[in-house]
């Protein structure tokens, strides 16, 4: 089975607070976009993993972690041949590792008719629950609270700097610099984009990590604005370092939003 695992952008992202267990509460507006990794999965006599990029087969690999979580929670041992063709840049804020994990978890749960996929997704990574559902959603808590919304119709251009950001390090810096707290409103932003309301979009487009990046790497903000010249709205996605730009009244862009989280090619 071949599965397309689509990337995402964060149209809105506020880091709200740090919990006692070290995780962070967030609220975000996420949407799948038309960049995707290709995951090929088939039964095998032993588990074999290969990829077009250098990825280890250990706990740092979200596909390895997915297999581990699935086996521990279900007791079902898996032997699979997994081939991953990466197209989603990493680290970038597009959620490639989480998208891949969700695709494999979906495959396993479909195969064995297991319904509690959302519970498993929470244990793999904070973005994985979103990718299990995909499309467009407001995501809250530590990623486990998903409020599905109708997909938006938008095309965007991307700028991906050569430098990548460590998510763990970016969260540490957010805490250190006291940047936690809600700014704007993702529901108002969603309404603004859907109804082409420039004022609403301008007032609510926000990413905590872009505020941080403006302080620690201001040159990247300048580069993004230069590369995305002509786009009315420019924002960093996730914890970075990729940026996207869009217009409300001009739909032409290199990448478009997608409503479906994955496409199965048997």
Mind telling me the catalytic residues?
A: 8, 127
Name the 3-class secondary structure at 102: helix
CA distance linking residue 191 with residue 41, whole number of Å: 39
Q: Which residues contact 120 (CB under 8 A, 6 or more apart)?
A: 69, 70, 73, 105, 109
Q: Which residues contact 209 (CB under 8 A, 6 or more apart)?
A: 13, 15, 93, 165, 170, 174, 236, 238, 239, 240
CB 264 within 8 A of CB 38: no
Token duo for residue 130: 């979103």
Neighbours of 144 (CB within 10 A): 15
Token duo for residue 145: 């609270």
CA distance linking residue 227 with residue 266, whole number of Å: 39
Question: In whole angstroms, how large is the CA radius of gyration of the chain?
Answer: 18
Token duo for residue 167: 């998510």
In sequence order, what are the beta bridge partners of 10?
A: 30
CB 146 within 8 A of CB 137: yes
CA dihedral of 245, 165, 146, 142, whole degrees rounded to 10: -150
What does the DSSP 8-state code read for residue 68?
Answer: H
């Amino acid at each position: 089975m071949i599965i397309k695992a689509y990337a995402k952008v964060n149209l809105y992202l506020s880091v709200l607070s740090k919990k006692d267990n070290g995780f962070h509460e967030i609220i975000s507006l996420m949407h799948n976009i038309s960049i995707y990794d290709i995951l090929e999965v088939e039964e095998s006599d032993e588990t074999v993993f290969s990829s077009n990029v250098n990825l280890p087969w250990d706990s740092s690999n979200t596909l390895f972690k997915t297999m581990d979580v699935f086996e521990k929670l279900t007791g079902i041992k898996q032997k699979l041949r997994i081939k991953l063709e990466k197209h989603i840049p990493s680290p970038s804020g597009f959620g490639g590792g989480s998208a891949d994990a969700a695709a494999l978890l979906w495959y396993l749960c479909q195969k064995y008719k297991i319904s509690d996929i959302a519970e498993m997704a929470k244990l793999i990574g904070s973005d994985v629950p979103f990718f299990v559902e995909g499309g467009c959603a407001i995501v809250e808590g530590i990623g486990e609270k998903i409020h599905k919304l109708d997909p938006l119709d938008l095309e965007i251009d991307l700028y991906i700097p050569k430098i990548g950001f460590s998510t763990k390090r970016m969260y540490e810096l957010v805490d250190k610099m006291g940047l936690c707290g809600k700014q704007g409103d993702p529901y108002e932003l969603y309404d603004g984009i859907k109804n082409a309301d420039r004022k609403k979009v301008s007032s609510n487009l926000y990413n905590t990590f872009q505020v941080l990046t403006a302080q620690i790497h201001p040159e990247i903000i300048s580069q993004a604005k230069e590369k995305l010249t002509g786009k009315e709205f420019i924002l960093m996605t996730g914890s970075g370092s990729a940026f996207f730009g869009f217009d409300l009244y001009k739909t032409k862009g290199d990448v478009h939003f997608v409503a479906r989280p994955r496409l199965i090619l048997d």
